[in-house]
Amino acid sequence: MKIEISSNNLGLLDEKINSKVRDVTDHIFQISQGELTTPKVIQGITRITSNTGYLLGSGRVQHTKNTHTITYDAPYASDIEYGSEPHVVDLNKLKRWARQRLGNESLAVPIQRSIAKNGTPAQPFLRPALEKAINEYR
């Protein structure tokens, strides 16, 4: 006896599977949005990953027939997710950020030096969302 299953002849089953994958993808996206706004302790400092809301607002889910994609378009999204290697940050931008977020732009210089020497730590938001969703569906 032989049963052949392919995406071409699944019909209603394929639609149901695709619908479930779509729901799971939407759920992972919602969890990732929460990860960006939930305070976390990173290197002994409590941080909220999405400081300005730009990263949060850059997220979207795209659904095509058989593909479901979560994307964060902020140029620094992968640096937040995975951390970054040492690099030089524009001091004027960093001063503006330090003034807005820390209330003290003079902190920009030591922060710039630290990033130039150590890079930035990872503040994962998408991978933990995927892990949480997987655990929920087990």
Residues 92 and 54 in one domain: no
For residues 66 and 21, state if they share a domain. Answer: yes
Answer whether residue 96 is part of any domain: yes
Q: Which domain holds residue 132?
A: 12-84+121-137
* 17 and 80 assigned to the same domain: yes
Q: Is residue 2 part of a domain?
A: no
> Are 93 and 131 in the same domain?
no
Closest CA to 48 of 101, 85, 93: 101
Give the whole-angstrom CA distance, residue 84 versus residue 72. Answer: 17
Q: Enter the DSSP assignment of 76.
A: T
Task: Give the pLDDT means over successive 10-residue stretches in the chain (138 positions).
Answer: 43 74 90 87 69 86 84 92 95 91 90 95 91 87
